[in-house]
């Protein structure tokens, strides 16, 4: 056997997406996703200089009204709905300040005011501008703006008088047929390979796995909310296999993995889930605060047999475990620098807030059935091409002596878990109640739906 044949066999890392060619650097590229007419999801890149130019221009007009910075801005959902209905009746449109929820960059509080029957969400706010991906972001911090369409999507999942949604999730998975083809392909190339085989094996794996299936539960798959969940999962896996670099110190799974201890039919599945221990509630239940929460990345080992995925009992992949732990620890810093992860954390809070409003029956107490926000013809949120499939992206690295294959996973959010007694702390020092009592909805002018 010659020296070339004795070197390490090809290690192929496969995620469930198509990235195009090369790597994406989060430090130099602004990225989003696009979905074509067939529902195939792909990364789309933008020149960050355009975003900076828009921010500079917007900051020059950020000194009045809704464009001012506020440490705590309150938005009455009932009054907002009335204002939307009036605006639609007048000219058929929803103004941008309503679409941006008066510039909220975080949803930290939910309040109910029995005297005025206002259901209120509140948080920090600032002026906003559309970036090159057409997402609204704060002009001071660059944080994503909480969107009306995302809040409406969550409110509909926990609508007045409806059965509560138990799970909001996305999962991106290979098909049974794809896994069977992959196993046959791996068997056909079993044995020692040469560096010159790298491209052939990588493309063979991609072609045999084929398109992966996107499954979304709990919300319509054609919403912006759903697209954020898919993109966050999408981009995280690219980071894991070394096809996207983050602007923070974080080793990818590729950098850590020891192929000598991983079976050739092993799969690493990674999931985002919330840290549910982050809720403070007043004694009377009229005020709730979502404390600064973490988003956790967790892993699960599986193996593939006959095209089916099965849990590997008692097995721990140290490289995967450490990657998940470090990603979780770094998540707050990652979210500051890569917008999609900030959006994911934001939407978890939005879902928890919607679940709390329903669980406390603020709808019934306010005598509010949300007729306009529930009406898709009046406030459309199902406006995106639904992501149904993604292609396999492959990263090939020479190391060890095992051919390693694909990754799966998703995002799993159960908002009502955050409201269970074991996860909720009582507002014993009265801070949440004090915040609610400051600047209530009394004395507002006709048509006013937000205030500081």
Is residue 89 exposed (0-12), middle (13-18) or buried (19+ Cβ within 10 Å)?
Answer: exposed
Query: Is residue 97 a part of any domain in this protein?
Result: no
pLDDT of residue 24: 40
Domain that holds residue 32: 9-47+149-441
pLDDT of residue 231: 87
Query: Is residue 218 a part of any domain in this protein?
Result: yes
Task: Judge whether 35 and 87 are in contact, CB under 8 Å.
Answer: no
Query: Is residue 92 a part of any domain in this protein?
Result: no
Token pair for residue 286?
């009229």
pLDDT of residue 175: 86
User: Can you list the pairs that 51-60 forms with residues at least 24 positions away whose Cβ atoms lie under 8 Å?
Assistant: 51/131, 51/132, 54/129, 54/130, 54/131, 54/132, 55/129, 55/137, 55/139, 55/142, 57/129, 58/127, 58/128, 58/129, 58/139, 59/127, 59/139, 59/140
In degrees rounded to 5, what are phi and psi of residue 216? -120, 130
pTM (predicted TM-score): 0.84
pLDDT of residue 383: 93
**Cα 292 from Cα 108, distance rounded (Å):** 8
**Cα 270 from Cα 257, distance rounded (Å):** 15
Contacts of 368 (CB under 8 A, 6+ apart): 78, 81, 117, 119, 160, 362
Task: Judge whether 313 and 335 are in contact, CB under 8 Å.
Answer: no
Query: Is residue 236 a part of any domain in this protein?
Result: yes
Instruction: Give the DSSP letter of residue 181.
Output: H
The total of structural domains in the chain comes to 1
Query: Is residue 225 a part of any domain in this protein?
Result: yes
pLDDT of residue 447: 94
Q: Per residue of the chain (452 residues), what is the pLDDT tens digit?
A: 443 333 334 455 555 433 333 444 443 344 555 556 566 655 655 555 655 666 666 666 666 689 999 999 999 999 999 999 999 999 999 999 999 999 999 999 999 999 999 999 999 999 998 876 678 889 888 899 999 999 999 999 999 999 999 999 998 888 889 888 888 887 787 666 666 676 777 788 888 888 888 899 999 999 999 999 998 988 898 888 888 889 999 998 888 876 654 444 456 778 898 888 879 999 999 999 998 777 999 887 544 445 454 555 556 678 888 999 999 999 999 999 999 999 999 999 999 999 999 999 999 999 999 999 999 999 999 998 888 888 777 776 665 555 454 556 678 899 999 999 898 998 888 889 999 998 899 989 999 999 99
Place of tokens 């409003």: 357
**Cα 244 from Cα 21, distance rounded (Å):** 11
Query: Is residue 310 a part of any domain in this protein?
Result: yes
pLDDT of residue 201: 77
Query: Is residue 83 a part of any domain in this protein?
Result: no
Query: Is residue 397 a part of any domain in this protein?
Result: yes
């Amino acid at each position: 056997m010659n020296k070339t044949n004795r070197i390490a066999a090809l290690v192929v890392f496969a995620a469930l997406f198509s990235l195009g060619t090369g790597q994406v650097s989060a430090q130099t590229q602004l990225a989003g996703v696009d979905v074509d007419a067939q529902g195939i999801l792909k990364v789309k890149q933008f020149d960050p200089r355009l975003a900076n130019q828009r921010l500079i221009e917007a900051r020059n007009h950020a000194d009045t009204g809704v464009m001012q910075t506020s440490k705590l801005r309150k938005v009455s959902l009932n009054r907002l709905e009335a204002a939307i209905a009036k605006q639609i009746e007048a000219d058929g449109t929803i103004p941008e300040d309503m679409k941006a929820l008066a510039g909220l960059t975080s949803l930290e509080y939910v309040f109910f005011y029995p005297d005025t029957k206002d259901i209120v969400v509140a948080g920090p706010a600032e002026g906003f501008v559309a970036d090159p991906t057409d997402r609204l972001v704060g002009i001071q911090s660059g944080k994503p703006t909480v969107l009306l369409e995302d809040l409406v999507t969550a409110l509909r999942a926990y609508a007045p008088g409806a059965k509560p949604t138990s799970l909001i999730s996305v999962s991106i998975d290979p098909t049974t047929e794809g896994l069977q083809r992959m196993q046959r392909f791996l068997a056909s190339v079993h044995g020692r390979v040469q560096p010159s085989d790298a491209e052939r094996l990588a493309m063979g794996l991609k072609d045999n796995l084929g398109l992966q299936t996107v499954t979304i539960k709990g919300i319509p798959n054609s919403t912006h909310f759903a697209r954020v969940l898919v993109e966050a999962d999408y981009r995280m896996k690219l980071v894991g296999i070394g096809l996207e670099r983050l602007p923070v110190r974080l080793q990818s799974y590729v950098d850590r993995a020891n192929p000598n201890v991983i079976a050739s039919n092993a799969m690493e599945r990674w999931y985002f889930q919330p840290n549910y221990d982050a809720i403070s509630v007043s004694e009377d239940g009229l005020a709730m605060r979502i404390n600064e929460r973490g988003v956790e990345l967790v892993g699960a080992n599986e193996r593939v047999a006959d095209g089916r995925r099965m849990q590997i009992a008692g097995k721990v992949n140290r490289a995967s475990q450490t990657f998940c732990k470090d990603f979780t620890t770094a998540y707050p810093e990652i979210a500051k620098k890569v917008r999609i992860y900030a959006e994911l954390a934001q939407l978890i809070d939005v879902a928890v807030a919607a679940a709390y409003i329903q669980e406390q029956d603020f709808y019934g107490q306010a005598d509010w059935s949300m007729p306009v926000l529930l009406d898709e013809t009046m406030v459309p949120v199902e406006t995106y091409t639904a992501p149904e499939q993604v292609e396999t992206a492959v990263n090939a690295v020479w190391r060890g002596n095992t051919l390693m294959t694909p990754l799966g996973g998703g995002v799993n959010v159960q908002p009502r878990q955050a409201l269970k007694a074991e996860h909720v702390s009582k507002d014993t020092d009265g801070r949440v109640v004090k915040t609610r009592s400051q600047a209530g909805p009394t004395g507002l002018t006709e048509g006013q739906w937000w205030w500081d």
